[in-house]
Amino acid sequence: MTLIACVTRLQLVRVPDSMADIRVLIVEDDPFIAMDIESAVADELGDKAELIVVGSVAEALRATASRLSCAFLDIDVIGGKTFDLAAALLQAGTPFAFVSGSSPSDVPKALRQARFLRKPFSTREIATFLLGAISPLKPRRSRNH
């Protein structure tokens, strides 16, 4: 797996050696929270997914130019709120969850059917949404306990 970092802004992209069919967008401007979400996704999918981590609305909109399997969206990020991005994902049929310290009532009515994970979240909440969102795409990675 290759890890690409953009120095000007938080943007980590994990690109498996053989490009994955699963592409997960994480929109979060706090690098520590972004790493927590990224880690939870990587724990579930390993090298089977491409993780795109961005910190701004503009970067997120660029990332949506290609097909996404699902997305995790903080509401308030650099450049504004992610509601327009969420509406575009909804229209495209891309599963997404808001991951935010905001109140669910702050979400516009048209987007309230989306999953809402309140910060602080658990990795189990991230994994549950992720696996539900991609289940038509790929089975869960087996674990050895």
DSSP codes joined into one string, 19-76: --SEEEEEE-SSHHHHHHHHHHHHHHHGGGEEEEEESBHHHHHHHTTS--SEEEE-SE
Q: What is the pLDDT of residues 15-31, one digit of tens each?
A: 444 446 899 999 999 99
Upstream peptide bond of 104 is cis (omega within 30 degrees of 0): no
Its pTM stands at 0.82
- The one-letter amino acid code at 5 reads A
Question: 35-38 — which CB contacts under 8 Å span 24+ positions?
Answer: 36/121, 36/123, 37/72, 37/99, 37/126, 38/12, 38/14
Q: How far is CA 97 from CA 7, 65, 145, in A?
A: 27, 19, 29
The confidence score (pLDDT) of residue 19 equals 45
Q: What is the pLDDT of residues 103-116, one digit of tens each?
A: 999 999 999 999 99
**DSSP string across 80-106:** EESHHHHHHHHHHT--EEEEESS-GGG
Nearest CA to 55 among 43, 63, 46, 65? 63
**Percent of the chain predicted with pLDDT > 70:** 79
**Secondary element (H or E) of residue 10:** none
Q: What is the pLDDT of residues 66-88, one digit of tens each?
A: 999 999 999 999 999 999 999 99
**Crossing angle of helices 31-45 and 123-134, rounded to 10°:** 50
For residue 10, name the pLDDT band (cuts at 50, 70, 90): very low
